[in-house]
Structure 1
Amino acid sequence: MTPFGADKVMTAVLSGEADIGFMGSESSIYTYQEGANDVIKNFAQLTQRAGNFLVAREEMPDFSWDDLKGKDVLGGRKGGMPEMVFEYILKKNGINPQKDLSINQSIDFGSTAAAFSGGQADYTIEFEPSATALEAENSGYVVASLGVDSGYVPYTAYSAKTSYLNANPNIIQKFTNALQKGMDFVQSHTPEEIAKVIAPQFKETDLATITTIVSRYYEQDTWKSDLIFNEESFNLLLDILENSGELKERVPYEELVTTTFAKKAAH
């Protein structure tokens, strides 16, 4: 099932509607902070860079983050990973997210591209395929990659309740092994080859566009070669949450991450 947004995925896992969730790892930290008695644990990290892009109304070959000063930007939901990574980059570049520009956080996750092409804001933060679609219709141009400018961030991971992991280690191991096979395929094939394999999943997008999207992610080293969620990544995630004012206190890595399954799968 595909609930849009990490908050909705987490709700499905917590309610038992889903056994495994794939989402931004910040969600597991929030539920831990709220005192969840059955801790949601991350067991396989998939992406190591943010997958979204800053889209402008015109081509800006010499873009710098300072260009956003005084501008309107369609951002993401407060406390969500896309928005926090954006604010982290702004602060890294000496820009105050609250004072130096206006970030609109009221538009639903899937509707920002339509709002932008309809004339709202000077910039928008978009995932694929929206970023490429805006370029294709000449409504916008990708001027920066949040994934490149934020560095290696544990952006998405697979997680499950601790009770589920303990009760079903074989299922989780087989699932992680299958994911690792996928990662091995990505590492050993070209964007063109990958695009052909995944095309049936994206019937509404033509092969050339899928290839462009895969190439973009490929070139910026978005996918991990293994699924091991290491402590350094986790600490960077805590830094980003702290930076956004979303962290009550730093939470222990061992409580929220297990690398047992990913390490076995990588051998």
Structure 2
Amino acid sequence: MMSTGGMPEMVFEYILKENGIDPSSDLEINQSIDFGATAAAFSENLGDFTVEFEPGATALEKEGKGYVVASLGEDSGYVPYTAFSAKQSFIDENPDTIQSFVNALQKGMDYVQSHSPEEIAKIIEPQFPESDLETITTIVTRYYDQDTWKENLVFEKSSFELLQDILESAGELEQRAPYEDLVTTSFAEKAAK
């Protein structure tokens, strides 16, 4: 069986399938390249397309070696790439800690909803010393224009089901998990108010 790769590839293949393209017969996906080296391999003409995280995609454009032609995030819907997990016992014993953590994250979400890409880029620039402000602004603008950031942190059932659809499509999920048993939204809902 062919390896399914990580989430970027599983999302990519899911989008292909949703658009009537069979990843196993309609194209060739090279999975032998370390994910950190795919932009360099693409730059050396190894492949016609590449799936890149930022700042790799923008770097390829700036170097004149490629163009961003689509966004997996736009084409897939809200895939929950990041989720925070805690044992039920920790949640029960530390609700104030959980709420404070979620409130802080929501504060960041509120910031990106109420500020321009230029303002966001300037604030986050120190976190990305390998990238200049112009590159960071380009990336943030792209995410901003694509509506990448939700307004809140509520892990909606539709996103949970989409994640399971993607994992199932990739052959990585044998049995679906019940949303109600695994997801707690009360902290995010309270933070969003």
The TM-score normalised by the length of structure 2 is 0.93
Residue 202 (structure 1) aligned to one of 109, 128, 133: 128
Q: Which has the higher strand share?
A: 1
Deviations 1:184-238 (A, max 9, x none): 1110000000000000111111111100000000111111101001112111211
Identity of aligned residues (%): 71
The TM-score normalised by the length of structure 1 is 0.68
Matched with 2:22 is 96
| 1:249 Cα deviation from its structure 2 partner | 1.1
Matched with 1:233 is 159
| 1:108 Cα deviation from its structure 2 partner | 2.0
Residue 105 (structure 2) aligned to one of 167, 179, 182: 179
Residue 137 (structure 1) aligned to one of 44, 63, 66: 63
Matched with 2:37 is 111
Report whether the alignment pairs 1:162 with 2:88.
Answer: yes
Residue 152 (structure 1) aligned to one of 64, 78, 88: 78
8 Å Cα contact 1:153-1:233 kept in structure 2: yes
Matched with 2:142 is 216
| Higher relative contact order structure (alpha carbons within 8 Å, sequence separation ≥ 6) | 1
- C-alpha distance in 2, partners of 1:184/1:146? 24
Q: Which has the higher helix share?
A: 2
Query: Helix, strand or coil: the match of 1:105?
Result: coil
- C-alpha distance in 1, partners of 2:182/2:36? 29
Matched letter for residue 184 of structure 2: T
| 1:255 Cα deviation from its structure 2 partner | 2.2
- Count of aligned positions: 191
Matched with 1:58 is none
| 1:79 Cα deviation from its structure 2 partner | 5.2
- C-alpha distance in 2, partners of 1:136/1:215? 15
- C-alpha distance in 2, partners of 1:138/1:79? 27
Q: Show structure 2 runs of 5+ residues with no match.
A: none
Matched with 1:87 is 13
Distance 1:215 1:138, change over 3 A: same
Query: Helix, strand or coil: the match of 1:89?
Result: helix
Distance 1:255 1:135, change over 3 A: same
Q: Show structure 1 runs of 5+ residues with no match.
A: 1-76
Residue 190 (structure 1) aligned to one of 116, 119, 125: 116
